[in-house]
């Protein structure tokens, strides 16, 4: 319980100011520890930023670490009304002539005409069967069901077909359409007494059929209008019958963009590192930190030395400088896109080896080398950054414990000081009272 004090009533001293002054002196170690923790928190923030930048560098490297990811191709069609194409890193450059004679279609069948879509079709339960690709779905149609009820029953049956009601202004028909294209998706119908007429060939207005075309004169059939396996790495989408020429060629601009993203991500990392070093950097930076230095040296060593055991046709080691990627004095990279464009023009697939490696030789490229190195920095269990952050956090926690102990001491010390000064004031008050009594006594005696 705090001691009640009456500052200076007897002594004339500003005891509250004296107590606060003494406490301020004792609080200096706490303020020093709090300042240390602010610096430590700033360092943790920098490490978080560095970790995020390294993560982006790893992603940029992984976007280049395989041939399909490094290589970029574009696909164009001379007549996009007939077909379009999308290339990938697995595409093979060349020109291909497509002659499309038929598109893949889904079956569409109408029922016989009915005057009322809501009138009962049968006074007893009936069965409607749909057979699609060898699978028969038997649908029970309850007595008194209407044309609309049949449509609902088809849609709820799980069969690969959808149904609706078509009205031509005079009569109603049930429309049944397959959900998949291709000849194998043809629908056969049977009903036990509904009189729908779906099994009448004349009521099928669109037959289920495969796409028919030739590619460079070779016959191709497809159950869908999307061809994913006929041209390696290239997806072709058919739109209409006719003839078109597809051209697949390397896309240097797309490769340059991926390499530029790698360089930018690398430079972002070094921007954070360079901000920590140099004369005049405060305690709230990572100036001189061994972890930062390790990352700096690791990345610099990797991007400046030969890429694994990869060599060109003349036996010369491959280095990133061949692609116009040079290291500056501050560790950042500069990228001469014209140098990369020349390499791509001379040997597109050979240039991919710089980042994607050479699977036939069992060697890895810069993409995997950087990604693996960064993985050691970012591993959430025992990575370099994790260990450094744990060490800083341990210091923060230790300082917090010391601050808490000092705060407890200050509370006790303040209570003691207040008690002492209160006792002083009480003693002074007593002495003054005695002095006044003696003065009065002596005055009466005189």
Q: What per-residue confidence (pLDDT) applies to 10?
A: 52
Q: Are 207 and 65 in contact (CB under 8 A)?
A: no
Q: What per-residue confidence (pLDDT) applies to 3?
A: 45
Specify the residue for token string 């959430």: 380
Q: Are 118 and 147 in contact (CB under 8 A)?
A: yes
Q: What per-residue confidence (pLDDT) applies to 2?
A: 47
pLDDT digits 0-9 by tens, 13-61: 677 788 788 888 888 998 899 889 999 999 999 999 999 999 999 999 9
Q: What per-residue confidence (pLDDT) applies to 12?
A: 61
Q: What per-residue confidence (pLDDT) applies to 423?
A: 78
The mean per-residue pLDDT over the stretch 226-231 comes to 92
The mean per-residue pLDDT over the stretch 342-347 comes to 89
**Confidence (pTM):** 0.68
pLDDT digits 0-9 by tens, 163-219: 999 999 999 999 999 999 999 999 999 999 999 999 999 999 999 999 999 999 999
Compute the CA torsion angle 409, 411, 412, 413 (nearest 10 deg). 80
Mean pLDDT computed over every residue of the chain: 90
Give the whole-angstrom CA distance, residue 107 versus residue 435.
120
Residue predicted with more confidence, 79 or 440: 79
Question: Which residues have a Cβ under 8 Å from the Cβ of 258 and sit 6 or more positions away?
Answer: 60, 63, 64, 69, 70, 72
Q: Are 266 and 326 in contact (CB under 8 A)?
A: no
Give the whole-angstrom CA distance, residue 385 versus residue 377.
6
Q: What per-residue confidence (pLDDT) applies to 101?
A: 97
The mean per-residue pLDDT over the stretch 72-89 comes to 93
The mean per-residue pLDDT over the stretch 421-439 comes to 76
Give the whole-angstrom CA distance, residue 127 versus residue 62.
57
Q: What per-residue confidence (pLDDT) applies to 279?
A: 67
The mean per-residue pLDDT over the stretch 275-294 comes to 82
């Amino acid at each position: 319980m705090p001691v009640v004090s009456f500052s200076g009533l007897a002594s004339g001293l500003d005891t509250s100011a004296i107590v606060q002054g003494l406490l301020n002196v004792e609080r200096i170690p706490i303020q020093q520890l709090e300042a240390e923790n602010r610096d430590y928190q700033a360092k943790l923030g920098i490490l978080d930023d560095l970790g995020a930048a390294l993560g982006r560098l790893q992603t940029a490297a992984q976007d280049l670490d395989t041939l399909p990811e490094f290589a970029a191709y574009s696909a164009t069609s001379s007549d996009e009304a007939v077909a379009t194409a999308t290339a990938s890193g697995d595409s093979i450059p060349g020109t291909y002539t497509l002659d499309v004679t038929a598109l893949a279609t889904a079956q569409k069948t109408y029922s016989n005409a009915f005057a009322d879509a809501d009138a009962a079709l049968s006074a007893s339960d009936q069965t409607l069967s749909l057979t699609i690709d060898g699978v028969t779905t038997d649908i029970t149609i309850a007595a008194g069901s209407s044309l609309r009820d049949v449509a609902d029953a088809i849609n709820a049956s799980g069969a690969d077909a959808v149904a609706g009601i078509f009205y031509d202004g005079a009569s109603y028909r049930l429309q049944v359409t397959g959900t998949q294209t291709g000849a194998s998706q043809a629908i056969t119908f049977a009903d036990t007494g509904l009189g729908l007429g779906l099994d009448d060939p004349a009521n099928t207005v669109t037959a289920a059929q495969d796409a028919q075309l030739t590619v460079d004169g070779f016959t191709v059939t497809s159950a869908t209008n999307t061809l994913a396996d006929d041209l390696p790495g290239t997806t072709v989408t058919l739109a209409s019958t006719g003839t078109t020429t597809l051209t697949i060629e390397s896309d240097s601009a797309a490769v340059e963009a991926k390499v530029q993203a790698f360089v930018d991500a690398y430079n972002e990392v070094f921007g954070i590192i360079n901000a920590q070093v140099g004369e005049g950097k405060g305690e709230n930076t990572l100036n001189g930190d061994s972890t930062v230095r390790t990352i700096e040296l690791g990345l610099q060593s990797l991007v400046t030395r030969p890429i694994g055991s990869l060599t060109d046709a003349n036996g010369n080691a491959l280095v990133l400088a061949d692609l116009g990627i040079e290291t500056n004095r501050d560790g950042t990279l500069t990228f001469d896109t014209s140098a990369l464009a020349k390499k791509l023009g001379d040997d597109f697939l050979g240039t991919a080896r710089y980042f994607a490696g050479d699977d036939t030789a069992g060697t890895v490229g810069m993409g995997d080398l950087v990604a693996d190195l960064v993985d050691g920095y970012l591993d959430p269990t025992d990575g370099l950054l994790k260990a450094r952050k744990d060490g800083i956090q341990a210091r923060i926690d230790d300082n917090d414990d010391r601050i808490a102990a000092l705060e407890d001491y200050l509370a006790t010390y303040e209570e003691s000081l207040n008690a002492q000064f209160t006792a002083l004031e009480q003693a002074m008050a007593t002495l003054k009272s005695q002095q006044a009594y003696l003065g009065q006594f002596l005055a009466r005696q005189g």
